[in-house]
Structure formats: C-alpha cells, structure tokens
C-alpha cells in the first residue's frame, strides 16, 4: 500500500490530522492498534479552547458539539472553602466549551467513516522504518497477515506509550519529566452538576474538582496518593471525602448517586525534544503530557496537528520544506508555555506531602494575589482559554 502520510494512532490527534489532510487533498491512512470501540471507550475530560471549537467547526464536525457543548464564561476557585470566580468573558472576552474528548473522537471517527477515508483498526506489531531517509515505511499485522505501507511522512499520534517515540534512537531525543506523588480519583455519575461552572478546590485534605460531561452527567475528582487503588474507595467514601473538601454550601447542594465509572489517573509533566526526526513527527501525548489541572491535553494535541497539517500542505502545495523544518520549534514554544501553566495550576491547588505549613502559606498567598489583582486573574484567564503568541 502507498500513501502520502501514515498516521499512527486514531485518537483525537490522529483523527484531526487525518481530517485536515483530507480537506487539503493529501492522502493519509490511519493505523490504530486498538479497536474502534476500545478507542471510544476511553473516558477523557473535554474542555475546548475557542480555537479548538473554531477548528472543529471549520472541519465540519460540529453538529453535535454545537447542540450538546456547554460554553463556560469562567471557573470557580476555592481555598479551604473560600470562593473566587475568575470571569474569562469579563476579563479578556473569551470563554471555553465543555464537550467530552470521547465525543470529539466519535464525531471525527464518524466523519472519516462517512467520507470513506482509510483507517485500519486492530493492527498489531506496528513498526516504523527508515524515517531518517526518503522512503519511510510502516509495517503491521492484521488478521494474521503482515502488511506494509510506504509513505512520504509518518505522524506519530499514538500517545505516551506508543511505538512512534519509542522508535527514535535515545541519543537523538531528550526527555524532560516530573512525576507527581498523587493522582486523581474520578467518579462519573448520572446527576446534574453541582454548579454551572467548574470548581477547582484546594483543601488541606487535598485537591478536589467538580466538573461535568453534560447537564445531566457529572464528573468529580479528589486527590489521592499515587499508591491508592480505586477499588479501595466505595461510593459513600468518595462522596464523604469530596464534601469535606468543598465549600459547605456547595457540599450541601451536591447530588450524589451510584458511580458509573471510577478510576485513578496519575499525574505527570513530560516533554520530548525535538519533535521531528527526518520524516517522523511526534504530536499530542507522544510529544508531551500535562497534568489535567489546566485542561490542556486535548487542546495541545489539536494545536500540534494544526501546525503539522499546515506544514504538510505547504510541502505538497508549494514544494517548500519551511513548514516542516519549523514544526518542532513552533510546537515546543507552545508546549513549554502550556507546561508552565499546567504546572502552576497543579502547584496552586494540590497538597504536596513535603511542602509543610510554609508551602500551604505560599499557596494561600497565591490565591490571595489572584483575588486582589485583576492582572493576575487576566493572566490565568488568558492561559486557561488558550494563549497564542
């Protein structure tokens, strides 16, 4: 098989890139290790920056998003029960949309199926070859047979544990990582959200987050030690702990119920440099990971593939290497800026085991500064809604 671009991974990064290339008349095949049902079964949050919303509309995959997505004009912060609203719309005339990553993936997947663009699911033993030369290849096994795809470029959209980054020689790549000593225990419940906007709560017992998937389905999180197991937490224990970390009035109005999904997500900050290796490009979680505190992971992946699609259009349309040569530097500039913001939000809102009383007083000073300074709130709003230089 021959194609122009082989895309490894059918998550939102790979599907978005495929849609953008399809719109530009560039042939691309998506190769995914898992089944389509497995990909859609992964539960992920979804807070979309306006630029991400605009792109999904531009690609024509916005019908359900526009009908079901919920625009938020701000967020609520809480410190030991004291509340502070950060009003994005009033501060910088921007807002974000709550629309689940799973739903974004479904919309993109349905659009690709409808257009007839080729996707290969349940491809095992995926390997990439010769990406440092002019004729890269992807090999994989499907239904017991070995297949090969020859291509011009390979886009690694296959996540943190995927084959793309693992195929790069260690001497050619630098990795930067911080693993946090805690995770988020999350519960999904069919109950209306406790508030109209997301609530990020700092408490001496640990961080908590009140979020939503829709007007009838809510997602709640509490910070737990990295060694914790979800099965150790009954629903009652979770609800009691969440209430203890929230403002009393918010806790009183919380509607609980039987959890329909419960899991623990570890937290890490991670960046790989560079992001281009000959004709292989890393995007999304293959290139970087951020803690979910700043709601940035999906938006970063979309930003990456927007840059890559633009570079590939320039290559095929103008026979220019300028875009692909600039890809790594442009994406890393945005990556480190976003890593800083996500790290700062994580530092502000979580309880760290070694920070002690001094650390909590610094966190309190940060919260008080946000409350007192419009410029500080503007900075938070600008970064949360998507800063672009």
- Tens digit of each residue's pLDDT (9 = 90 or more) over 319-366: 999 999 999 999 999 999 999 999 999 999 999 999 999 999 999 999
Which of 180, 220, 292, 303 does the annotation list as catalytic? 292
Of 138, 136, 110, 107, nearest in space to 125 by CA: 138
Query: How confident is the model at residue 389, as a pLDDT?
Result: 62
Low-confidence ranges of the chain (pLDDT < 70): 43, 388-389
> Would residue 316 be called left, alpha or beta, if left means φ above 0 and alpha means ψ between -120 and 50 degrees?
alpha
Query: How confident is the model at residue 189, as a pLDDT?
Result: 96
Rg (the chain; Cα; Å): 21
Terminal-residue alpha carbon distance, the chain: 40
Reply yes or no on whether 200 is catalytic: yes
Element (H, E) at 36: helix 36-41
pTM for this predicted structure: 0.95
Which of 99, 200, 220, 221 does the annotation list as catalytic? 200
* 200 contacts: CB under 8 Å, gap ≥ 6: 75, 76, 77, 78, 207, 209, 293, 345, 349
Please work out, in degrees rounded to the nearest 5, the angle formed at the alpha carbon of residue 53 by the alpha carbons of 47 and 54: 155
Mean pLDDT of the chain: 96
Helix axes 322-349, 356-372, angle to 10 degrees: 110
Per residue in 247-258, pLDDT tens?
999 999 999 999
What is the percent of the chain where pLDDT is above 90?
A: 96
Reply yes or no on whether 72 is catalytic: yes
């Amino acid at each position: 098989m021959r194609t122009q671009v082989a895309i490894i991974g059918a998550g939102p990064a790979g599907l978005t890139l495929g849609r953008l290339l399809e719109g530009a008349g560039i042939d691309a095949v998506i190769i995914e290790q898992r089944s389509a049902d497995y990909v859609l079964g992964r539960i992920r949050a979804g807070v979309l920056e306006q630029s991400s919303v605009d792109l999904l509309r531009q690609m024509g995959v916005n019908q359900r998003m526009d009908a079901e997505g919920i625009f938020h004009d701000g967020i609520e912060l809480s410190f030991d029960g004291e509340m502070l609203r950060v009003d994005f719309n009033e501060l910088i005339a921007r807002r974000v949309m709550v629309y689940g990553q799973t739903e974004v993936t479904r919309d993109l997947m349905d659009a690709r199926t409808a257009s007839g663009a080729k996707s290969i699911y349940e491809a095992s033993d995926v390997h990439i070859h010769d990406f440092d030369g002019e004729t890269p290849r992807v090999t994989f096994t499907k239904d017991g047979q070995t297949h090969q795809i020859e291509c011009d470029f390979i886009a690694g959209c296959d996540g943190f544990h995927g084959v793309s980054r693992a195929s790069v020689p260690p001497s050619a790549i630098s990795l930067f990582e911080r693993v946090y000593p805690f995770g988020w225990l999350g519960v999904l419940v069919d109950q209306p959200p406790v508030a109209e906007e997301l609530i990020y709560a700092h408490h001496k017992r640990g961080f908590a987050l009140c979020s939503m998937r829709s007007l009838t389905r809510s997602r709640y999180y509490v910070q737990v030690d990295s060694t914790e197991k979800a099965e150790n937490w009954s629903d009652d224990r979770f609800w009691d702990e969440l209430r203890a970390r929230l403002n009393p009035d918010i806790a009183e109005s919380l509607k609980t119920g039987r959890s329909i999904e419960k899991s623990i997500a570890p937290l890490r900050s991670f960046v790989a440099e560079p992001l281009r290796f000959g004709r292989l490009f890393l995007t999304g979680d293959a290139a970087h990971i951020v803690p979910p505190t700043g709601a940035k992971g999906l938006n970063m992946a979309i930003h990456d593939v927007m840059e890559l699609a633009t570079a590939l259009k320039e290559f095929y349309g103008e026979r220019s290497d300028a875009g692909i040569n600039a890809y790594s530097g442009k994406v890393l500039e945005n990556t480190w800026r976003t890593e800083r913001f996500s790290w700062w939000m994580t530092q502000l809102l979580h309880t760290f085991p070694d920070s002690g009383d001094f650390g909590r007083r610094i966190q309190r000073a940060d919260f008080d500064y946000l409350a007192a300074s419009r410029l500080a709130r503007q900075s938070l709003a600008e970064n949360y809604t998507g800063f672009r230089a």
